[in-house]
Structure 1
Amino acid sequence: MKGKVAEMKQPEKMEVENYDLPRPEKGAMLLKVRRTNVCGSEIHIWKGHHPTKKQGVLGHEMVGEIAELGEGTLTDFSGEEIKVGDRITSTYFQTCRKCAMCRKGAFNLCENAYEFWNKPAAEAPHFHGSFASHYYVHPDVYFYKVPDNIPDKVAASANCALSQVYFGLERADLKYGESVVIQGAGGLGLNAAAVAKEKGAIVIVIDGVAPRLENAKKFGADHVIDMNEYSTPEERAERVKELTDGEGADVGMELSGVPAAFQEGIHLVASGGRYVSIGNISPGQMTEFDPGLMTRKSITIYPIVRYHPWFLKKSLDFLEQNIEKYPFEDMIDGEFDFKNIQEALDQSAARKVNRASITFEE
């Protein structure tokens, strides 16, 4: 049997190719992709902005059903039994458990995390990304069974935005009754708002787009700050203080991907506070910063890349418990057939849709 793979031959040029379906090795599995999303990192590569990735199979936010199991693959990474036909989502990176970072317990920083990421389709096992009819899950990739009450539309994004911000909030040790200010009300920000709210925090969200701020309220924001109304960093910092008894937030989160937001963040956080940086991932994008203020306020900064892989299970549990409470499905505002995958990327890059999702015909 053959499957289809959409491979980026060069930035902004995609071709669909057919390859024989691989037999999974011991500890691996082959998934049939049910739904996959266009993440910001894919847009970054698609537009040619990544320093090294100029071709290969894209896609990592996905949910699939087991098509074939390799020898010895009997349970997911939580010990739950699995079988052909079960819905699965996996981390988009591997955890080798052997490199220097893994040996230190920093599994999110595995030096071999992307060993199989974004490879050319011609290289076996061909199905390296989720922009394809099938997806190969290697032995060192954590995966979990998707609870029955989580629809594909929601499950597809659990392994990226939700797991990432969940990890960041726990790294910052957000406590019940504390305040958190979130910069950016995109997918990361909305997920962060929901998790923070369920942790019992007072949630403040900053953005400059009215519909995004309205969404933030639906995802648990107690207060929103419109950048059109509070147009300067000084005004926004003062507003955060007004909402936090004159102190500033206990925890701040940069989720916008805008370098200037990072330097603004320490002005929003109280003395002794914690600041989580997730959105800015592109080296070389510079901004001014006041290190003296950071020192004087004794702010702890947590840069977050990826997450400890078991946070995917925590995210699935979170969705299972809160699927009726927050409108997770509404985060997807554009749906495309696999044959229109290039259109999905182009519209996402042009910001005509906030989050595109790609489905596959039976």
Structure 2
Amino acid sequence: MRPIGKLAYLAQPQEVQIKEYEVPEPVSGAILTEVEQANVCGSELHIWRGHHPEVKNGVLGHEVLCRVKELGSDVDTDYAGEPIEEGDLVAPAYFLTCQRCPSCLKSQFNLCQNAYENWSKPPNEPPHFHGTFATHYFIHPKQYFYKIPKKLDPKVAAAANCALSQMLFGLDKVDLSYNDTVVIQGAGGLGLNTIAIAKEYGAETIVIEGVDGRIERARAFGADHIIDFREYQTVENRAKRVQELTDGQGADVGVEVAGVPDAFAEGIQLIRDGGRYLEVGNVSPGHYTSFDPGLLTRKAITIVPVIRYQPWYLKNALQFLTDNIDEYPFQELIDAEFDLVEVDEALAKSDSREITRAALIPNHQIQ
């Protein structure tokens, strides 16, 4: 007899139902896993609120740590060639790399046009477990995954397949380098990972934030300067403060991870002439802000929007965590754990910023 698993299904915005299904066997090239830990990411909150441009319902979740339960035929290694067997802990990229669409054929695997072919589908469609807010999760053929290094705390590894991978990719895209100054708009999960990466790259960090808990965590991650927007209440005041910290020039690199449209409009005022601006946080089309294109042109700023990441960056993220786990308090990024059936509470408290990041632990008795 096949096992029965549970999953969290978003029927409509802010309405989540727990459903049960029989867990199918993995097809050739796929893996059936048991979910050890699934984190509540900002993307889930966008979907839960009804702000995602395409996904309005379906099985929730994508940031995850999995334990291999059954291997489909033709699967004996991860995507780095490491031998894989039942019981191993793995981190999957949350999207497909189809290798046949126009984007993949141009090596833009992060833009694969079939990336979400198996994600956030209705639960009645086999194999049912399309998201990670569940007891089980299927890793499909052409979905990159990597074994968790033995030295790495598994709970920390659960976040590697989203925020850290994306920020490693994004900061490489804007050529962040030694002795650069980077201004980071927002100190949520994306922002804190950005601080750690920037510090390891030898950059000086300026963080703009206005929530006490997030400011404390930014300092714990080694932020060199904090601009509290409760103190510096206007764009002009914040831009002036950035200039004071950068010899009157502005930052070399700006990173928008606040997810607020007005932050994007502000960003170009914080950056020096010829600087670079990484846009990551605003992912929901249809939300607008006033913008000064003339200032952008006269400052000759390069804007680099990034969605997802080249899938092998997940391997880089796991290695980054392994190498730097004692340098930064990654363990503290998860500040609340919930059972899978408490998903509504986890989403609501994450949305209100009562907690920084929640973890769902299926079938686990929270202490």
Same fold (TM over 0.5): yes
Partner of 2:114: 112
Offset of 1:134 from its aligned partner? 0.5
Residue type matched to 1:232 in 2?
A: T
CA contact under 8 A between 2:65 and 2:91: conserved in structure 1?
A: yes
Secondary structure at 1:267 match in 2: coil
Offset of 1:67 from its aligned partner? 0.3
Partner of 2:309: 307
Partner of 1:31: 33
| Farther off after superposition, 341-350 or 170-179 | 341-350
- What TM-score comes out, normalization by structure 2 length? 0.96
Structure 1 residue 75 corresponds to structure 2 residue 102 = no
CA contact under 8 A between 2:4 and 2:23: conserved in structure 1?
A: yes
Secondary structure at 2:62 match in 1: coil
- What TM-score comes out, normalization by structure 1 length? 0.97
Paired residue for 2:132, among 119, 130, 133? 130
Structure 1 residue 20 corresponds to structure 2 residue 22 = yes
Alignment of 1:236-251 (within 5 A): 236-251=238-253
Partner of 2:290: 288
Offset of 1:350 from its aligned partner? 2.7
1-side partners of 2:171 and 2:86: how far apart?
35
Alignment of 1:266-345 (within 5 A): 266-345=268-347
Task: Please tell me the root mean square deviation across aligned C-alpha atoms, in Å.
Answer: 1.2
Offset of 1:209 from its aligned partner? 1.4
Q: Which consecutive segments of 4 or more residues in structure 1 shift more than 3 A?
A: none
Secondary structure at 1:205 match in 2: strand
Paired residue for 1:187, among 176, 186, 189? 189
Cα deviations by residue, 1:184-225 (Å, 9 ceiling, x for unpaired)? 011000000000000000111111112212211211211111
Partner of 2:203: 201
Residue type matched to 1:187 in 2?
A: G
Cα deviations by residue, 1:305-347 (Å, 9 ceiling, x for unpaired)? 1110011111000000011111011111111011212221222
2-side partners of 1:225 and 1:358: how far apart?
33
Paired residue for 1:147, among 134, 146, 149? 149
Cα deviations by residue, 1:234-291 (Å, 9 ceiling, x for unpaired)? 1111111111111111111000001111111111111111000000011111111111
2-side partners of 1:69 and 1:359: how far apart?
23
Structure 1 residue 66 corresponds to structure 2 residue 71 = no
2-side partners of 1:185 and 1:49: how far apart?
21
CA contact under 8 A between 2:92 and 2:144: conserved in structure 1?
A: yes
Secondary structure at 2:259 match in 1: coil
1-side partners of 2:188 and 2:19: how far apart?
33
Secondary structure at 2:275 match in 1: strand
Alignment of 1:150-165 (within 5 A): 150-165=152-167
CA contact under 8 A between 2:160 and 2:317: conserved in structure 1?
A: yes
Offset of 1:53 from its aligned partner? 2.5
Residue type matched to 2:119 in 1?
A: W
Secondary structure at 1:98 match in 2: coil
Partner of 2:123: 121
CA contact under 8 A between 2:53 and 2:285: conserved in structure 1?
A: no
Offset of 1:169 from its aligned partner? 0.4
Offset of 1:296 from its aligned partner? 1.0
2-side partners of 1:78 and 1:65: how far apart?
17
Partner of 1:174: 176
2-side partners of 1:188 and 1:175: how far apart?
19
Cα deviations by residue, 1:132-189 (Å, 9 ceiling, x for unpaired)? 1100000111100111232232111111111111111000011111111100011000
Secondary structure at 2:269 match in 1: helix
Secondary structure at 2:132 match in 1: coil
CA contact under 8 A between 1:210 and 1:226: conserved in structure 2?
A: no
Say how many residue pairs are matched. Answer: 362
| Farther off after superposition, 212-221 or 312-321 | 212-221
Q: Identity over aligned residues, as a percent?
A: 56
Offset of 1:9 from its aligned partner? 2.1
Residue type matched to 1:306 in 2?
A: R
Offset of 1:15 from its aligned partner? 2.2
CA contact under 8 A between 2:64 and 2:159: conserved in structure 1?
A: yes
Cα deviations by residue, 1:27-47 (Å, 9 ceiling, x for unpaired)? 110110000011112112222
CA contact under 8 A between 2:53 and 2:284: conserved in structure 1?
A: no
Residue type matched to 2:127 in 1?
A: P
2-side partners of 1:16 and 1:258: how far apart?
31
Structure 1 residue 225 corresponds to structure 2 residue 227 = yes
Offset of 1:302 from its aligned partner? 0.2
CA contact under 8 A between 1:251 and 1:269: conserved in structure 2?
A: yes
